[in-house]
Structure 1
């Protein structure tokens, strides 16, 4: 496989930095091709502004970000740093996003990567022959796999189904469903290091070994079973039909049950 590893941590000698090195070494040892985007090392610009479009201003009218991104993408006027990342994505079969969970979300630099790189016309906003908008299981990045590797300071129990922090796959729902699945990428179950601030050498060895095992199965791991927008579960208002998961609401309703359940 061809794998793009997007790394968002400011310290290369951190726990995340060490796991990144372990993971990439394992993937290459397995024969995969790996390219990297180390956002802090790249001094990645995290904010969208008029400079993204090779313009100081956008004429006399206000900046309509989505429309301007789509225009600049279609006319090859996005800045070189953006197009370089889009080229990496186009090359990749799978994307790995590694970051520490800060304030229940990725660091701002990675959010800025999403904002600037996954533009309309490239990652989303496409239509099929029938004029339907392709998203939630379809879209510009359909066919690619995407995996989160993250670390949290809290214990695993605190991120469990009744934990005070919220169940982790639901905490990560904006990334897993709202970014990966929305653009068509298949979200894999995240790999999480709990209690990261208290990890000793033995604990690190266990987590590194578990990460290597997860990466060995990267091509075959079953993705999270989110529902396709055009799979028949949603009505024209993008609401689940009444007979679909009638007792479930919120985030959980948008996952298909396991066979036999």
Structure 2
């Protein structure tokens, strides 16, 4: 199994970065995971801004040469792992800009005239690891599970990815937030995960 980790947090002293390290540690301990690549969107200087004009048309985004390396990474991976904080009930704008540009028509999906498109990323799996200051069940009870619906239904299922796992950790700024236990839970998951 080949794993691509997309990390989205501007601070390498953050808890998100600690989760990234646990994903890497668990993955290297797993004999089923043969190769790992990390894409740190902030360190990479990824430009999340969509630009459509006479030179860049939306319908051509699947072939944008500036995004070729990122498309190759997605195609290469069997497992996509997203590590990010929840800000204002959703992933950071940097990650959403990556998604807007990479999960494009004719690359991630193809319209076929019906209600739903043909997902072109079938067979891959996704793990989303997110942290937030608020209570763990805040997104479920206050936001009608908007974060998970956005990521699982509106994005991953739309492009053909059916196997989606969430680690959504709340109370992460509390001294009683169980950070050590949650970090270990993530490490153990990646140590044992199978394709």
- Common fold by TM > 0.5: yes
SS in 1 for 2:194: coil
1:158 and 2:138 equivalent? yes
Unaligned runs of 5+ in 1: 51-56, 221-261
Q: Give 1:217 deviation, angstroms.
A: 4.6
Q: Tell me how far apart the structure 2 counterparts of residues 21 and 171 of structure 1 sit (CA, whole Å).
A: 23
Q: Tell me how far apart the structure 2 counterparts of residues 114 and 157 of structure 1 sit (CA, whole Å).
A: 25
Aligned residue runs from structure 1 range 169-180, under 5 A: 170-180=146-156
Partner of 2:11: 11
Match among 31, 42, 45 for residue 43 of structure 1:
45
Q: Tell me how far apart the structure 2 counterparts of residues 219 and 172 of structure 1 sit (CA, whole Å).
A: 22
> After TM superposition, where is structure 1 displaced by more than 6 Å over at least 4 residues in a row?
none
Cα deviation code 1:16-43 (max 9, x no counterpart): 1011011111101213111111000011
TM-score, length of structure 1 as denominator length: 0.67
Instruction: Mark the structure with the bigger radius of gyration.
Output: 1
Match among 61, 64, 68 for residue 60 of structure 2:
68
Q: Which has the higher contact order (CA 8 A, sep 6+)?
A: 2
Unaligned runs of 5+ in 2: none
Q: Give 1:199 deviation, angstroms.
A: 4.0
Instruction: Give 1 or 2: higher strand fraction.
Output: 2
Q: What is the number of residues matched between the two proteins?
A: 193
Alpha carbons of structure 1 residues 199 and 8: separation in structure 2 relative to 1, 3 Å: farther
Q: Give 1:212 deviation, angstroms.
A: 1.8
Q: Give 1:214 deviation, angstroms.
A: 2.5
